[in-house]
């Protein structure tokens, strides 16, 4: 049986990837551990959001909005629970749920295998994620939060650059066709 199947939208041919058993769970847990551990050792690592990169990658690769939504929700809630008392439970859950859905929806319509496409999409999704966190804090929690600044732009570019290399590593978890 074929390990990948095709989505045909108009004239385009987009492949939906299957992954080895436990690959999504392993990548998710590894990203959460790195996210919790890196900022303790390296102060500059607070710029990176590895759980978001995993959400984006599997959303773009699986190309199923329901799967992307559920994966984003699970990753976001786990990240909330590991973030401590400064992050209310559900903050990252809401944001990553929406990003997982959007990444899966866009992945079903575009070929996202090229590194330049991955870089651009990750930068856009990172800014959208931060925008959702900003709106959630501002509207639902009533907390003042700075929105667009140079720090956000630098973090988006750093995450997009790291994503290109992380996505290449995660590509190795695919089942061979």
| pLDDT tens column, 70-123 | 999 999 999 999 988 888 999 999 999 999 999 999 988 888 889 999 999 999
Q: Residue 63 in 3-state DSSP?
A: coil
Dig out the tokens for 1 from the structure.
């049986």
- Residue 4: the pLDDT is 54
- Residue 168: the pLDDT is 96
87: which residues sit within 8 A by CB, 6+ positions away? Answer: 80
Give the range of the structural domain holding residue 123, as residue numbers without chain letter: 5-11+19-171
Distances (CA, A) of 138 to 52, 87, 147: 21, 13, 10
Phi and psi torsions of 81, nearest 5°: -70, -25
Helix (H) or strand (E) segment spanning residue 167: helix 150-171
* Number of domain units in the chain: 1
Mean pLDDT for the stretch of residues 153-160: 97
Half-sphere exposure of 163 (CA within 13 A, CB side): 34
Residue 153 lies in a domain: yes
Residue 176 lies in a domain: no
Q: Which of 24-28, 86-90, 142-146 has the lowest mean pLDDT?
A: 142-146
| CA-based torsion, 30, 31, 33, 38: positive or negative | positive
């Amino acid at each position: 049986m074929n390990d990948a199947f095709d989505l045909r939208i108009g004239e385009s041919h987009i492949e939906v990837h299957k992954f080895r058993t436990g690959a999504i769970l392993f990548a998710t847990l590894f990203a959460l551990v790195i996210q919790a551990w890196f900022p303790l050792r390296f102060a500059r690592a607070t710029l990176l959001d590895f759980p978001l990169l995993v959400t984006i990658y599997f959303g773009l690769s699986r190309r199923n909005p329901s799967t992307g939504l559920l994966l984003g929700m699970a990753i976001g809630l786990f990240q909330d629970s590991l973030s401590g008392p400064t992050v209310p439970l559900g903050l990252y859950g809401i944001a990553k749920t929406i990003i997982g859905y959007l990444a899966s929806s866009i992945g079903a319509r575009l070929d996202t295998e090229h590194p330049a496409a991955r870089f651009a999409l990750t930068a856009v999704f990172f800014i959208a994620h931060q925008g959702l966190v900003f709106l959630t804090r501002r509207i639902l929690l009533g907390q003042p939060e700075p929105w667009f600044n140079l720090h956000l732009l630098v973090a988006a570019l750093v995450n997009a650059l790291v994503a290109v290399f992380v996505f290449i590593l995660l590509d190795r978890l695919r089942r061979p066709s």
